[in-house]
Structure 1
C-alpha cells in the first residue's frame, strides 16, 4: 500500500540510503534513524505504517527496540539481520516481529516484503452492520427485519456481502445466481439487483446499500 510512512532503522549509511531510495521509488514516505534509542520517541511523535528494523544497532539493539514497541503498539516490524543462526531468527519473531530479512539481500526483495506485510495489515471491509445471512436456511435479515429474498436474490446478496466495498462484474455475479449454472443475460442480473434493492430499501429506507458502477457492475457498501 503505497503512501504509507515507513521508518528505516539502519546504522550502515550506504545501506540505509539504498533502502530509502527504493522505498521512496515504490511510493512510500520514508524516514531514517541510525540509533535504536531514537525509534520509540520518533514513533510516539509520528506513527508509521511499518518499521524496517536492523538487529545490530548502537544505543539499543533491534530486539530491545521491538520489545519496547510491542509494549504499546502492533505496528508491523520487519527485522533485518546479518546473524543467520536459527536462534536469532526465532527470537526475532517470538518478540513480536512480523517478518525478517537476512543480509545480504536485494533491495527489491525488501520492497516486496514490505508490501506483503502491509497487505496483511490492511483493514478488511465488513458487510453493513445489521446484515445477517444464514446460508443453510437462505434467511437474510437487516436490522432485525426479514428480507423475504428468493434463493437467487439471497445468493446475489451473499456474493456481494462476501466482498463488501469491492465491485463485482455482472459476469462474476452470474456465477453465483443459479445452482445449475444456466446462461443468463446482463439484464437478468440487473433485474435481480433491482428486486434486491427494493427489499433492502424496505428494511433501510434511503440507505442504498447496493451501489451501481456504470459499465462495471455492483458493490455492497461496507
Structure 2
C-alpha cells in the first residue's frame, strides 16, 4: 500500500510563528479528518489548519525519508519556529536540523513543483538543479582527476564562495563540473598556467603567480 506525504498549512495559534506541519499517512481522508477535528498532534492542535497539500505517494520507507527532508527544507527556508513534522514533532524543541541539501532528491523537488503551491514553490526555486534528476550522479560518467593538496584546498574554498554567492547548497560534483566547464571557456588562463609550469619545471597550483582570487 502506498503512503502519502502531505503538508498542512497553519494559521498561528499558541505558536505565533507556526506555518507548516509535514506528515505521512496511508489514508489521507481519515488523517485530514483527524487533523481538522481534535488532532492528536500537539503542533497541529495548538494552531489552526488552513489547508492541506498532498505532495505525492511512495512506499513507506521513501515517504518517511521525504517527510524528514521536507520538514528540514521548510525549517531552513522559513525558520525552525514555523515547521514541525517527521523526526521533529516536539513543539518546543529549538534549533534547525543540521542538514545539507546538496543531494536532495529530484523526485521530491518535482513533486513539490507539481503542487503549484506558492509556499512550496519557494523550495523548488531554491534548488532548481534537482528538478530534472533523481540523484547527483544521473547522467554522469567517471572522470578521474588527481590534484595537488593546495588545488584541493582552493576548490573547497571556491565551493564555499559559490554557495554563499548563490545562497544554496550544491553537491561537490556540481561545483566541480561548473568550475571545469568554466575553465574550458577560459583557455587563455589555462595556457598561461601550463606555460608557467613548463618554464618552472613544477606545478605550483594556487601559489603560482597566476593565483585566482576568490571573493
Task: Bin the TM-score by the shorter chain.
Answer: under 0.3
Max radius of gyration: which structure?
Answer: 1
Bigger relative contact order, structure 1 or 2 (CA pairs below 8 A, ≥6 apart)? 2
